[in-house]
Structure 1
């Protein structure tokens, strides 16, 4: 007789707290589903849009698993999935993984980057020592998703919006925007190359992007 039914079986039979966490969110794709729900509730197909390698069956299974773990909530009337309070508590875990990844060679930024993944990484890779006095507000438009990002107390605050209202709005795919944020090519040249579009104050946009760099962060 097993201690758990098949759908709730222990993945690892240990008493370690890290193992307890992995028993809830340690399966493949689970944390990435959480990532995609970080800033806004989403419908099933919108989740798949941010996870192009996942099948419908696997996504369904992960959503069921995360609901049973109390990480994800499902509004059946609206058909949307959102993070619970426990789920929102996983953002620092995702950020810590990003910081750790900066120390590991082999990262390939040419692979798919979802808009949400980029916005989380920007919160990690803000070079806080470069932030000057004044207001910073940026808009990011990715087609189906849009965000406003501001800097408050040297921290990036990201909010999902229907349409950004900011001094400038950057428009591109996740990978194109990542090239604009982290790449060495000036924004004006990236605009000329068609990598990214900008509405509004281009100089302010360049100043904002200059605050981010892929560098290992101190603990």
Structure 2
């Protein structure tokens, strides 16, 4: 049975890539002309959301045969610098008969070991590298909500955002760093991400 590309997954993916520098490349790989992709990106910036990216993905989905949607999307993600999202959004490793970039000669014992390590790692402090990786993926539209989940008052969060001239990546990085310095554990960050509808990024920042 062919796996279905659900609306929920499209919205989650749209949020995950909304502010990424490779979004233009993804749009081109999905078959859109550059002016059209830039129009979608400008909608994101104008509305400070992932609305433009959602429109792009749904427009592409409507014109793509159902059986080809997931295979074609995986191919486009891999070729535009979003290979890590394939693991997160299509964890089965095979989608529509197409293998993802990480499915080849996996040693079962190694896979089991990695799973165990991933579980244990949630009880440790978040690293600076993980903060940098996550900050670059977080969408502007979820800034206030995630800050609240991490224990920041609205005014404090907005002050940090204004300080960085509304550059959400820089603001997120400062918020996360400050939260980490107070003893931020990975398990708590994961919970905050889930509560902010950003659970799709949990596996991404840990790579």
**TM-score, normalising length from structure 1?**
0.26
Structure having the higher Rg: 1
